Each structure stands twice: as structure tokens, then as C-alpha cells.
Amino acid sequence: MNKAHQYQLENKQRYLDELFEILRIPSISADSSYSKEIINCAETISKNLRESGLDHVEICQTKGNPVVYADKIINSELPTVLVYGHYDVQPADPLNLWESDPFDPIIKKTDIHPEGAIYARGSADDKGQFFMHVKAIESLIKTDTLPCNVKIIVEGEEEVGSVNLGSFLKENTSKLSCDIILISDTHIFSNQIPTVTTGLRGLSYVEVELEGPNRDLHSGLYGGAVPNPINVLSSMIASLIDKDGKITVKGFYDKVIELTPEDRAELNKLPFNEEEFKKSIGLNDTEGEKGYNSLERTSIRPTLDVNGIWGGYTGEGAKTVIPSKAYAKISMRLVPDQNPEEITQLFTEHFTSLAPKSVKVTVTPHHGGNAYVLPSTDPGYKAAKLAMEKTFDKEVLPYRTGGSIPIVSLFEEVLGAKSVLMGFGLDSDAIHSPNEHYGVFNFYKGIETIPYFFKYYTENLKKKNS
Ligand code: BES
Ligand code: MN
Ligand code: MN
């Protein structure tokens, strides 16, 4: 057993206790009333980084929530790995659906997690995951076995679109210079089938507003002769997807890159089980774009979904009213080479053209981001695959996920470095949902695996340069 792993085993309980301390801080970025907790969280992390033996620990101010930075530079000749994670979390609501306090972590055993899982908001997304890097690096520093230079940034605005991280990158390109970026903020296929994530989807997110009459109206006195914005909005939305599950926005698919038959076959090597998938989310049947299976529909194909729709009377009892306005939030997950701004533009034109003369439509864009693909020929992919094969003792397959981490494409643009998505969560972790949890097995497995990434990545580059 290597020295770092020995050290990890000796400090197992403390690693967990320290994670719990971070999980107790409700660092919710979407709600400004938690801004003190955001600062508290950044400070707690920087304290931990210092105690873990990292240098140049700094809380960097941005226009929004601070970025925590630290590094350990051992030799400028050696490669530098930049670790990225986020300490902000999603709001915990709906609170009544949590079986335990979202900010008071507890360990519970489940069928999938016989060794227990940590229940808390942020346990998997992303505190439990970025913290594996801190503890892996600590074990390497304390045993004097760190094989390369490491830098780490932990941001506090990922869940609200990383709005200020782009300028932070641009203003700190030399500080953040690196050969590769390593991120644990995704999941593996299962604990038995480890995977390296090779693709993320992009995102375009809009809010739409429809205005009919200039005030709410009595639905008896006016109903029948005036446009009801909720009725109109519903039929407009219904027309956005056709009977084959294709999105009808003009030009939507123009830039979509189809996978090569080889890449498609590689993805489908994963033993995706449609029946289990349905069962796990309580569905009798799935649906989606014709010609693709559920695994493909959730990873390599673009989608359009209404995330929320509101208007009119939703309180107790019945109120007879034709509302003046109706609203919806609509997201589109994108794939290479769809451009989020272009898609937002296409959506806006299409959606506006659908509206009858009787209503006024406004489309407001929210944050978005590009899709991302890591080729399996990349040295970072190879190092991650080797590292996971070493600690899981199983063949590692590439996995494309449907989620988005918009900053990843900016890393490439601004820092000129590829990102390796070596996450250790499971899709059943309930991230963004009540009862979010992260396997204790996954937490320790990540800490064990990360040092091998550093080792194999460094060895491979050394070989190339000699
Ligand atoms: N960590 C997730 C993204 C993720 C999770 C990717 C699992 C792949 C697998 C991240 O924190 C997240 O929630 N991203 C948002 C986008 C963001 C702009 C709010 C998303 O995907 O909805
Ligand atoms: Mn995340
Ligand atoms: Mn998230």
C-alpha cells in the first residue's frame, strides 16, 4: 500500500468530521440572505486548506461570492494540475420532504450504499466531492509523495451560473496557468461500473411572459371573447415538441454533431437498464426523441423542458378569473456544436412568431453555457481511466452526462486547458433534491483515486518529454 493511502486510512474519521463541518454551513448562492454563510464557508475551507499543508491560501474577492485559492508548487519542471470545485449549494427546499436536517449531516445505510451515505445538502454537489481533492492532496503533502504541482480553486457561484468566474479567470490567467484541470462534480455509472465523464451538455435558459388583457378579468363576463394567456402559453409550449419528440424551434438542430457509430457504440456498452431506470423514478414508461434510447436522450441529444409555469389563481378554493399574465421558465440542454446565444436567439424568434396578435410576448434570457467533450485520446482522460481502473479494479468506460458545468468550456477558452471530469457521485444521489446524499464508499474511493491521477498524468507527460 502506498504511503498516502496508509495516511488516508489513519485519518479516515477526521476527514469525515471535517467534511461535516463544511456541510453544516448553508452556503446557498441563490438566496442573498445567506451571504454571511457564503463567507463563513469560504473561510472554513481556506482554514482547512492551510491545515492540509497547501500554500498561498487566499480568499479572492470577485463582484460576487469569493473564490478560494491555494496551491502547492514543488517544481516548475513538473506538470501542474488545477483542481476546480464549488462550495455553494442549491436551496434545500422543499424542506418538509427532507427526512433529516439538510444542514446537519448524518450517515444512513441504504441498499445502494451498504457502507452508508452522508445525507446533507451539498454532500454530493459539490462539497463532498471537491473536499476529496483537499484530503487527497493533504495525504500526498504529509507523506511527501506529491508527484506534481497542484492548484485548487473553489468557487461560490456555480449553482447560479458562475457569473463572475469568467472575469476571475481572465484577470488571473498566470496564477491559474496549468496543464490540465481536474473536476469532481459529476457521477459515475455505478459503484460497480466506474466511468470517466467525457461530455457535458450546454444550456440555454429563458423566461417567457405572455400578457393578454391589461388586468385580471371576471371569467364569466369576459371569458370566450378574450385571449387567456395561460391557455395561449400552454398551446405555444405544446407545439415546441412534435410527435417524434423533435424540438420544433427553427434551426435548432442545424449545428448538432451526430456521434460517430463507434462513439455511439462505446456509449452503449454501458449496461443501461431501461426497466430499472423507470422504476427508480416511478414511471410506467419513458418518452423522448424518436430514434434514440434513454441513455442517449439524456446525454448526447439536445432537449427542451419547461421548468416552471405560473399565472392566475393558484390559492385555495376556486376563483373565476382570466389572468392578465402567464409565465414559464424554459431550459434547453445543448450538445456540441450548438451555441447557447444562438439557440436563445432562435428560440426567441420562433416563440415570438408562435404568438397570436392578441397577446404580447417577452422572452428574457438567463445564464447559459457551452457543451463540452473530452476526447478519449486526451492524456487527462487516459490518466483518469488508469487511476480509476487501479482503485476500482474494473474496466473504466467513457460516460457522457446530461448535466452542465458552464465554466468548463471557458477554462478551455481562457486558460487553454482541457478539463477531466472525474466525479464519484451516483445519479441516485438526489442532487438538487430533498435528501441529497453521497456514499461514504464514494467519498473514500475518490480520495484514494485522485493521487493516482496525479501520478499517471505526471508519468505520461514525463515520458512524452523525454
Ligand atoms: N454538478 C452539477 C452538474 C452535473 C451533475 C453534471 C451531475 C453532470 C452530472 C452542477 O452543480 C449543476 O447543477 N449544474 C447546473 C447548471 C448551472 C448553470 C446551474 C445544471 O446542470 O443544471
Ligand atoms: Mn455541481
Ligand atoms: Mn448543482
The reported pLDDT for the residue numbered 397 is 94
Tens of pLDDT, residues 299-335 = 999 999 999 999 999 999 999 999 999 999 999 999 9
Residue at grid coordinates 450548438? 338
Pairing mode, if any, of strands 195-200 and 217-218?
unpaired
Rounded to 10°, the helix 12-23/440-465 angle is 110
- Cα(159) to centroid of ligand 3, in Å? 5
Residues 6 or more apart from 208 whose CB is under 8 A from it?
Answer: 233, 327, 328, 329, 330, 351, 361, 362, 363, 364
Does residue 269 register a pLDDT over 70?
A: yes
Does residue 185 register a pLDDT over 90?
A: yes
Tens of pLDDT, residues 404-431 = 999 999 999 999 999 999 999 999 999 9
Q: What residues have a C-beta under 5 A from ligand 3, the ion?
A: 125
Q: Whose CA is nearest to atom 14 of ligand 1?
A: 404
Q: Whose CA is nearest to atom 1 of ligand 1?
A: 185
Q: What is the mean pLDDT of residues 166-182?
A: 98
Residues 6 or more apart from 252 whose CB is under 8 A from it?
Answer: 302, 338, 343, 346, 347
- Number of neighbouring beta carbons within 10 Å of residue 223: 13
- The CB-side HSE value for 89 (13 A sphere, CA atoms) comes to 33
Ligand 1, from 185, 187, 410, 421: best to mutate by most atoms within 8 Å of Cβ?
Answer: 185
Do 333 and 404 form a contact (C-beta atoms < 8 A)?
yes
Q: What is the mean pLDDT of residues 438-449?
A: 98
CA–CA dist 407, 372 (Å, integer): 10
Q: Confidence class of residue 268 from pLDDT cuts 50, 70 and 90?
A: very high
Ligand 1, from 28, 158, 188, 367: best to mutate by most atoms within 8 Å of Cβ?
Answer: 158
Q: What residues have a C-beta under 5 A from ligand 2, the ion?
A: 125-126, 185
pTM of the model: 0.94
- Cα(202) to centroid of ligand 2, in Å? 14
Q: Confidence class of residue 444 from pLDDT cuts 50, 70 and 90?
A: very high
Does residue 465 register a pLDDT over 80?
A: no
User: What is the share, in percent, of the chain residues with pLDDT greater than 70?
Assistant: 99
User: What is the share, in percent, of the chain residues with pLDDT greater than 90?
Assistant: 98
Ligand 1, CB within 6 Å, residue ranges: 125-126, 158-159, 161, 185-187, 200, 203, 367, 401, 403-406
Do 21 and 128 form a contact (C-beta atoms < 8 A)?
no
The reported pLDDT for the residue numbered 265 is 95
The reported pLDDT for the residue numbered 96 is 98
- Cα(160) to centroid of ligand 1, in Å? 10
- What letter does residue 446 receive in the DSSP assignment? H
Tens of pLDDT, residues 201-216 = 999 999 999 999 999 9
Nearest ligand to the C-alpha atom of residue 303: 1
Residue at grid coordinates 442549491? 90
- What letter does residue 232 receive in the DSSP assignment? H
Q: Which fold has domain 3-200+371-465?
A: Aminopeptidase (3.40.630)
> Which CATH number does 202-256+302-369 carry?
3.30.70.360
In the chain, what are the domain boundaries? Answer: 3-200+371-465, 202-256+302-369
Does residue 4 register a pLDDT over 90?
A: yes
Does residue 466 register a pLDDT over 70?
A: no
Q: What is the mean pLDDT of residues 162-171?
A: 96
